[in-house]
Amino acid sequence: MSVRYQLVIDCADPDRQARFWAAALGYELAPPPSGFATWRDYYRDLGLPEEELADGADRISDPHGHGPAIWFHAVAEGKSGKNRMHIDIHAGGERTEPLATRKQRVDAEAERLVGLGATITVVMDQEGVDHYAVGMKDPEGNEFDVN
């Protein structure tokens, strides 16, 4: 039996990360629980210390309910080293479609994400291999791929 889960991403600016990833994934900012005007009010009610409370959005969800909820957890320490897990954004389409078509879609999505604050780190395009991807970093340097 499967279990429900959420993905947690440590970051310095949860609101910025939530807004970037909501736009990147087609998610929406998750509303605070019923009875609370903001997530900050909810966390305060849980008893979290004031210094751990962030302003703005810090959670996103798939409006169609297919993908996991994502929580952007404010932490003091910065990112160090390579991610041990990363997100792949599938923008190219199925392998039954021509590679040239998939490349155009991936490149268009990568450029859209650059406009949202991401950076391109590498283009993965090897002669004779039926795969194309663009390696990227989000606004805080977390690696992800568009393929």
CA distance 147 to 134: 6
Provide mean pLDDT across the span 54-75. Answer: 91
Has this prediction a pTM greater than 0.85?
yes
Residue 108's φ and ψ, nearest 5 degrees, are -65, -40
pLDDT for res 77 = 84
Provide mean pLDDT across the span 46-64. Answer: 87
Q: How far is CA 68 from CA 7, 106, 128, in A?
A: 7, 23, 35
68-105 per-position pLDDT tens digit: 999 998 888 888 888 888 999 999 999 999 999 999 99
1-52 per-position pLDDT tens digit: 888 889 999 999 999 999 999 999 999 999 999 999 998 899 899 998 887 7
Residue 139 has pLDDT above 90, yes or no: yes
pLDDT for res 36 = 94
